[in-house]
Chains A and B, each alone.
Chain A
Amino acid sequence: TVGAVALDRQGDLAAATSTGGFNNKPAGRVGDTPIVGAGTYARNGVCAVSCTGQGEVFMRRVAAYDVAARMSYGGQTLRQATDTLVFDVMSGHKIGAGLIAIDAFGQVCAPFNTLGMARGWIGTDGVLNVATHK
């Protein structure tokens, strides 16, 4: 799975995700990626999110929207919301999970509970960062 989230100069947020699913998946299976709120979500003033991992659990937990809800209803920061989802909720299901998210101020979070996640970001400081392992 691949994805991107961004904040532009107008203050608008956006998210995008694309995937091939998983190896040997049943024909016709649809995961979280194309489901708004599950694998992808964006709402101005709150955050934009793109998820990667076992899609069925992301769908049951409405994962991407869960991050936004934790922020907008619960007052959590982006860091708190994304860490809770990945390290508490998803790890509680014993599944590999990761996501990227950005808030209205351009802060980026990229938590994952697996050994690695291919990821990168250019923050508001303009510095490019790329990593694959922990």
Chain B
Amino acid sequence: MSLPAIAIHGGCGTLAANLQSEADWAQTRAHLEAALRAGWKILTAGGSALDAVEAAVVVLEDSPHFNAGHGAALTEQSVHELDASIMDGATLAAGGVCTVRAIRNPIRAARAVMDQSDCVLLSGDAADAFARSKGLPTVANGYFTTERRVQALASLKARAARGTIGLASEAERHG
């Protein structure tokens, strides 16, 4: 019998104080805490690490403050293409999806690939269709868009037009 533990991240970068308000930072920390508690609740009830990490990531995907799910970065074509994976250390079973555009929570699709297919990684429209066939909720691609990401893309495209893309900050490139 082990004592449970869980850790999460919401991405690394410049995290410059002037990129968002103190209220935004407070909400960011609140969402991190909510993700931890979602996973911890499962672990302390005797649930699996696999279920705990999935639950924690779902909370972060649903938050606008992180680059995943709602709040994800935009491609050069102003759409969202999302990637996710999950791995079970007990069995080395793993599942992943890449460049999906419609599954609300890509980590749930990754879990479905692991549990309900013979594959490890599915991509694009086929991955969206697979997840849909397993009953996972889908959304219009615009669901993932936030104003911050729209501005970030516009800023980077403006730099490219001016020929100053090389001067773009880490925050502009990666959020």
Q: A residues bordering B, Cβ < 8 Å?
A: 1-31, 33-36, 39-44, 46, 48, 50, 52-54, 96-102, 104-108, 110, 112, 114-124, 128, 130-133
A8 pairs with B12, CB closer than 8 A: no
B120 pairs with A36, CB closer than 8 A: yes
Can you name 11 A-B pairs with beta carbons within 8 Å? A3-B57, A9-B46, A16-B86, A17-B85, A20-B67, A23-B175, A101-B7, A110-B9, A121-B6, A121-B36, A130-B33
The CA of A35 and the CA of B97, in the complex, are separated in Å by: 9
Chain B: minimal CB distance from A106 (Å):
4
A102 pairs with B7, CB closer than 8 A: yes
B54 pairs with A16, CB closer than 8 A: yes
A132 pairs with B25, CB closer than 8 A: yes
B7 pairs with A12, CB closer than 8 A: no
Q: B residues bordering A, Cβ < 8 Å?
A: 1-16, 25, 28-29, 32-33, 35-37, 39-40, 43, 46-50, 52-54, 56-57, 60-61, 65-69, 71-77, 79-90, 92, 94, 96-99, 106-107, 110, 120-121, 123, 144, 149, 152-153, 156-157, 160, 170, 172-175
Point out the residue from B8, B86, B90 that lies within 8 Å of A120, measured CB to CB.
B8
The CA of A9 and the CA of B3, in the complex, are separated in Å by: 6
B174 pairs with A96, CB closer than 8 A: yes
A23 pairs with B173, CB closer than 8 A: yes
Q: B43 — nearest CB in chain A belongs to which residue?
A: A8
A121 pairs with B5, CB closer than 8 A: yes
Residues of A near B15 (CB, < 8 A) are 114-118, 132-133
B7 pairs with A112, CB closer than 8 A: no
The CA of A24 and the CA of B89, in the complex, are separated in Å by: 34
B53 pairs with A19, CB closer than 8 A: no
